[in-house]
Amino acid sequence: MGSVKRKSVEESSDCAPPQKIQREDDDSTQIINEELVGCVHDVSFPENYLPPAPSSQENNKPPAKEFPFTLDSFQSEAIKCLDNGESVMVSAHTSAGKTVVASYAIAMSLRENQRVIYTSPIKALSNQKYRDFKEEFSDVGLMTGDVTIDPNASCLVMTTEILRSMQYKGSEVMREVAWIIFDEVHYMRDSERGVVWEESIVMAPKNSRFVFLSATVPNAKEFADWVAKVHKQPCHIVYTDYRPTPLQHYVFPAGGNGLYLVVDEKAKFHEDSFQKSLNALVPANDADKKRENGKSQKGLMLGKLGEESDIFKLVKMIIQRQYDPVILFSFSKKECEALAMQMSKMDLNSDDEKDSVETIFTSAIDMLSDDDKKLPQASIH
């Protein structure tokens, strides 16, 4: 089911010109576009910066990429910064559509026959973005440490650690990079891994431009001031606190039944619903209390004998109410295994899907040699 996107109230061409506000602190000038609905646009200039004369030839260029939907105001503002050849930080909630800006930057680089690097904090995200961009642009490579695909491609998707390693080694690729896209740049605040982003930005080529994609952070202006100072170039900040996907908080009482909405999409706390969830908690017996006080809470993990466990009831309810897809987190590998085993008997497939699974499995087994078919892993229980 697709999410309904908020349309921009004003087209970009109808936006009023930005109001310039001079600030004494940090020797920077801040531009605030108050007229835009749903986003705030600031820009930090380095000290003694003189803006280049506008080129009529650049203004007449067609867009590098057309989108089949109306862009939100923050997307339009960020793309205008890219068209002007200036770095931008996009700060917005998850699922707001920040990838649109990254996609436009890649399309613009490929149009100009320039090299662009897209970095993300984790390998899984890099793999996903590689598949997405490969399908759209084709001239895309992947470098994650584990896997290297087409390292000479014009667009390279990699983890931020790989980018820093390339910078340390003085890779020839870095001299050709025109744009660097840092996804999830708010990781820079992490006490352990943040230094990777800091060093990657500092060591980036001085003639390169940046696209920073971030969750909403309180110090976006401070970050842009730092980038402008380090690289002697303007850095825009486009910020929106609009959340296209409503965020709701439900409570499932351990040992009980039902979900209780405690915080709605407007961040309103429902005291009555919270009290109902507390009243629905099943009193723990002495043995359960003893387990809860210890380091391992196996009572919660395994459930009681002859009853459906909490995790089974919760997932079953989520599927019935069509709240799926769902992700379950656990901080223990052993517990993840135990939770998965509890749900092994849960039937999530329709009759047609069951037939498809059986056909695929049977075909795979038939392709094995006679010796392999005798292995315990291949035997049908």
Other CB atoms within a 10 A radius of the CB of residue 369 amount to 7
Q: What is the pLDDT of residues 64-94, one digit of tens each?
A: 999 999 999 999 999 999 999 999 999 998 8
For residue 152, give Cα distances in angstroms to 19, 166, 183.
43, 14, 21
Dist. CA 298–CA 287, nearest whole Å: 11
User: pLDDT-based confidence at 222, cuts 50/70/90?
Assistant: very high
When pLDDT is averaged across residues 124-132 and rounded to a whole number, the result is 94
Q: What is the pLDDT of residues 197-221, one digit of tens each?
A: 999 999 999 899 999 999 888 888 9
For residue 22, give Cα distances in angstroms to 42, 45, 84, 224.
12, 11, 22, 16
The angle at the Cα of 209, spanning 132 to 9, to the nearest 5 degrees, equals: 65
Q: Residue 238: pLDDT above 90?
A: yes
User: pLDDT-based confidence at 151, cuts 50/70/90?
Assistant: very high
Dist. CA 378–CA 370, nearest whole Å: 11
Burial 193-214 (b: 16+ CB within 10 A, else e): eeebbeebbeebeeebbbbbbb
Q: Among 4-8, 146-150, 195-199, which is the least confidently predicted range?
A: 4-8
Q: What is the pLDDT of residues 257-295, one digit of tens each?
A: 788 999 998 889 999 999 988 888 866 554 455 444 444
